[in-house]
């Protein structure tokens, strides 16, 4: 299929409200006052709920999130409308329009999900008042908010990716790419059954191991602590990170096919960037948790409160989603040549840019920015945390005390070394310096092997996890017990 003599849309016109030019000033003042009232009123609600301990209940917990969502939802459109009125212009860029559509869907969906959660909270409070504290526990409230965010992210992403396909610009006399080819790890036919069996086994071990970690932490009240809260989220992230690429690779091997659709490739790229970045952020947060536990043990319960843990988790989700979305949207502006073979088992961003026929300097800068944000910054936080931990541990006079303090960090430190050891030098360098063979080997390590090993690392060296897994299986012993 070819698209010839087609214009590249760079901006849209927002016609605004049907008002006369002489009425623009009045409407500008009216909407400015309403927007400021919305922002200040909802911020006041959040502040009051935060400061008054009597309002630290599920109902007001959801209300504070609803107020924050309303601020974000209004801020997606109102500032741009006010700016256009003030500047007497109607234009909005293509990227700005797509971003505005994404965040409108995101926060609109989140508003609906939060209202549903609040309705469920009122149902439990009125229909089951005696069981209200047990049913509407902190863990359930956090879970409902997180699920609302995830579902909103997913629906907004799907709609935005479909929207970019409608307006994807193309160059004159250039082939419109509808599919890519994932060449995989080997093109030898006789090796395909071996690869299928090997990666299917590793994927199933990854899924079962990480899901058992999540289930054990959820079922054992003794593990309802910040460290295990973040560990459960790390296990969930590993499951999602691996599931973004391995099932498609297994399906291609089984069907003897190498194709992946354009939309499928962009969606896979988005989820790999998001969950890969989330993995890095969670490792940094877990390092901070260990720093507080060892260096400030008397203040640990207040410093790592459930609200702060939920806030840090939410910040991690937002920080990873926004750059991943931005990189994906920038990639939709790239025109690809007839050559569509990607020498990987997944849609690698650097390999995709090598297939481009248009200018990709902005995309390459974005890759470097993602590397700095998702690799360098979390790694610096981890190094700083462990430097302070080491200083505190070596200050302990008792060898038994030093070993006990260090053993609480051993599992996390092992995961950090494995994860960053495979990532360093792969996405921190510009795409032109990447070796395809080196990138493929590193990708197998950090996308398949490390998520598979994480449950074993945290179980083998952790007595609490062994006991929790033992209770989960209905006995005092586990597969990891001696």
Q: What single string gives the DSSP state of each residue in 393-449? A: HHT-S-HHHHHHHHHHHHHHHHHHHHHHHHHTTTSSS-GGG--HHHHHHHHHIIIII
Q: Phi and psi at residue 479, in whole multiples of 5°?
A: -65, -20
The CATH superfamily holding the domain 11-167 is Rhodopsin 7-helix transmembrane proteins (1.20.1070.10)
pLDDT at position 425, please? 54
pLDDT at position 481, please? 43
pLDDT at position 194, please? 86
pLDDT at position 165, please? 61
- List every span in the chain annotated with CATH 1.20.1070.10: 11-167, 176-482
Instruction: Determine which of 55-69, 120-134, 266-280, 463-477 has the lowest per-residue pLDDT on average.
Output: 463-477
* Sign of the torsion angle spanned by Cα atoms 324, 159, 447, 277: positive
| Comparison of pLDDT for 406 and 6, the residue scoring more | 406
List beta partners, residue 182.
Answer: 342
pLDDT band at 337 (very low <50, low <70, confident <90, very high): confident
Residue 478: pLDDT above 50? no
pLDDT at position 426, please? 56
Rounded Cα gap, residues 325 and 233, in angstroms: 21
Mean pLDDT, rounded, for 57-76: 89
pTM value is 0.67
Instruction: Determine which of 107-121, 324-338, 460-474 has the lowest per-residue pLDDT on average.
Output: 460-474
| Comparison of pLDDT for 214 and 403, the residue scoring more | 214
Residue 293: pLDDT above 90? no
Question: DSSP alpha helices (H): ranges in 259-376?
Answer: 262-295, 300-303, 306-332, 349-353, 361-371
Rounded Cα gap, residues 239 and 242, in angstroms: 5
pLDDT band at 285 (very low <50, low <70, confident <90, very high): very high
Mean pLDDT, rounded, for 207-231: 87
Looking at every residue in the chain, the average pLDDT score rounds to 79
pLDDT at position 205, please? 92
Tell me if 98 sits within 8 A of 164, measured CB to CB. Answer: yes
- What is the percent of the chain where pLDDT is above 70? 83
Mean pLDDT, rounded, for 208-227: 86
* Identity of the highest mean pLDDT range in 91-95, 319-323, 456-460: 319-323
pLDDT at position 254, please? 83
Mean pLDDT, rounded, for 438-462: 76
Domain 176-482 bears CATH identifier 3.20.20.70: no
Tell me the pLDDT tens digit for each residue of 379-391: 888 888 888 888 8
- What is the percent of the chain where pLDDT is above 90? 8
- Give me the residue label for tokens 């945290």: 458
Tell me the pLDDT tens digit for each residue of 227-282: 888 988 999 999 999 998 888 888 888 888 878 888 888 888 888 888 988 988 99
| Comparison of pLDDT for 131 and 434, the residue scoring more | 131
pLDDT band at 16 (very low <50, low <70, confident <90, very high): low
pLDDT at position 427, please? 53
pLDDT band at 9 (very low <50, low <70, confident <90, very high): low
Tell me if 152 sits within 8 A of 317, measured CB to CB. Answer: no
- Give me the residue label for tokens 């994932």: 182
Please give the DSSP secondary-structure letter assigned to residue 473.
T
pLDDT at position 308, please? 84
* Identity of the highest mean pLDDT range in 45-49, 79-83, 176-180, 256-260: 45-49
pLDDT band at 477 (very low <50, low <70, confident <90, very high): very low
pLDDT at position 173, please? 40
Structure tokens at 424: 């360093």
pLDDT at position 439, please? 61
List beta partners, residue 181.
Answer: 259, 341
pLDDT band at 436 (very low <50, low <70, confident <90, very high): low
Mean pLDDT, rounded, for 123-132: 89
């Amino acid at each position: 299929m070819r698209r010839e003599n087609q214009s590249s849309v760079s901006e849209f016109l927002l016609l605004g409200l049907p008002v006369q030019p002489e009425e623009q000033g009045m409407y500008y003042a009216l909407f400015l006052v309403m927007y400021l009232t919305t922002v200040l009123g909802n911020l006041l609600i959040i502040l009051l709920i935060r400061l008054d301990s009597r309002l630290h209940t599920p109902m007001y917990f959801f209300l504070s999130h609803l107020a924050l969502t309303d601020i974000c939802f209004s801020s997606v459109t109102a500032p741009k409308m006010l700016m256009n009125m003030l500047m007497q212009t109607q234009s909005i860029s293509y990227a700005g329009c797509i971003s505005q559509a994404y965040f409108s869907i995101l926060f609109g969906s989140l508003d609906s999900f939060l209202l549903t959660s609040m309705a469920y909270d009122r149902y439990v409070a009125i229909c089951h008042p005696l069981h209200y504290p047990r049913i509407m526990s902190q863990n359930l409230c956090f879970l409902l908010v997180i699920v609302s965010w995830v579902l909103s992210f997913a629906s907004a992403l799907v709609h935005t990716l479909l929207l970019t396909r409608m307006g994807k610009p193309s160059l004159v006399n250039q082939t419109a790419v509808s599919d890519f080819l994932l060449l995989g790890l080997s093109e030898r036919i006789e090796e395909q059954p071996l690869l299928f069996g090997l990666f299917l086994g590793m994927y199933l071990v990854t899924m079962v191991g990480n899901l058992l970690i999540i289930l054990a932490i959820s079922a054992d009240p003794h593990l309802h602590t910040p460290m295990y809260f973040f560990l459960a989220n790390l296990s969930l992230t590993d499951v999602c990170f691996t599931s973004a690429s391995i099932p498609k690779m297994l399906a291609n091997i089984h069907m003897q096919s190498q194709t992946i659709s354009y939309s499928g490739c962009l969606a896979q790229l988005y989820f790999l960037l998001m969950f890969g970045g989330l993995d890095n952020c969670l490792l940094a947060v877990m390092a901070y948790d260990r720093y507080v536990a060892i260096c400030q043990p008397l203040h640990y319960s207040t410093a790592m409160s459930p609200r702060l843990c939920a806030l840090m988790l939410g910040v991690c989700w937002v920080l990873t989603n926004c750059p991943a979305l931005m990189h994906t949207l920038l990639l939709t502006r790239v025109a690809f040549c007839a050559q569509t073979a990607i020498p990987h088992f997944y849609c690698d961003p650097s390999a995709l840019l090598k297939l481009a026929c248009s200018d990709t300097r902005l995309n390459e800068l974005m890759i470097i920015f993602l590397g700095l944000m998702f690799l360098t910054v979390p790694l610096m936080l981890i190094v700083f945390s462990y430097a302070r931990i080491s200083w505190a541990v070596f200050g302990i006079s008792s060898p038994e005390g030093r070993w006990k303090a260090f053993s609480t960090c051993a599992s996390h430190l092992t995961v950090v070394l494995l994860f960053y050891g495979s990532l360093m030098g792969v996405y921190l360098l510009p795409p032109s310096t990447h070796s395809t063979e080196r990138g493929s080997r590193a990708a197998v390590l950090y996308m398949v092997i490390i998520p598979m090993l994480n449950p074993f690392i945290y179980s083998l060296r952790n007595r609490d996890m062994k006991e929790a897994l033992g209770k989960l299986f209905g006995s005092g012993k586990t597969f990891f017990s001696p």
